[in-house]
Amino acid sequence: MAQNSDRVEDEFGDVLFALINYARFIKVNPEDALEKTNRKFIKRFQYIEQKAKESGRFIGDLTLDEMEAIWQEAKNN
């Protein structure tokens, strides 16, 4: 099992390496792109947390469907 996990990890690393090289080829700074994505994720996640709090609930109390609906709402804000 661990051997398979190591192989998957190696292959995933190869995919990431290829994506980084492609980003450079198309003149995109991969570090900047990842940072922007991280900021979007944090902002949307915090939006979900706030919506849960406003309804008197914790984020862990929300169903996946509820979280998805709020996530989609956050994307439009």
Please give the biggest Cα pair distance in the chain: 48
The amino acid occupying position 70 is I
- What does the pLDDT read at residue 14? 97
- What does the pLDDT read at residue 62? 96
Residues 6+ apart with CB under 8 A from 43: 74
Provide the token pair at 15: 């995919």
Domain, as residue range, for 32: 2-75
Q: Can you give the pTM of this predicted structure?
A: 0.77
- What does the pLDDT read at residue 70? 97
Number of domains in the chain: 1
What confidence tens digit (pLDDT) does each residue in 2-35 have? 678 889 999 999 999 999 999 999 999 999 999 9
